[in-house]
Amino acid sequence: MKKIEAIIQPFKLDEVKEALKGIGIDGMTITEVRGHGRQKGHKEVYRGQEYNVDLLPKVKLELVVPGGRLNDVIKTLTAAARTGKIGDGKVFIYDVADAIRIRNDDRGEAAL
């Protein structure tokens, strides 16, 4: 099992969700986060006072998939989230030791 953690542009969330649904991925967790990578922030000016806003709003999407589906999911996700411009975000992949469905104690991939 792999956990995919993708940080994407907020306005791409719906497209990504639809694309993942299209390949049968139903579960995911979304968080509104702020951050930046190489993308520098923007400048705001209030009555001549300049503020550099370098932490920009992003959406963090977390999902756990069976190992065999990983490449498939990554391909779909990145294609849907991509604009080709700086600031599109990143994807991180982790190994997952186990998973448990709280309702009935299903374990492992059966719990996904």
Identify which range of 31-39, 49-57, 60-68, 70-78 contacts another protein by CB under 8 A. 49-57
Of 2-10, 47-55, 78-86, 99-107, which part binds another protein (CB under 8 A)? 47-55
CB of 50 to another protein, least distance (A): 8
To the nearest whole angstrom, how small is the minimum distance from the Cβ of residue 87 to another protein? 20
- Helix 13-22 and helix 70-81, axial crossing angle in degrees, nearest 10: 150
Alpha helices in 1-112, H assignment, sequence order: 13-22, 70-81
51 binds another protein, rule: CB under 8 A: yes
CA angle 19, 95, 36 (to 5 degrees): 60
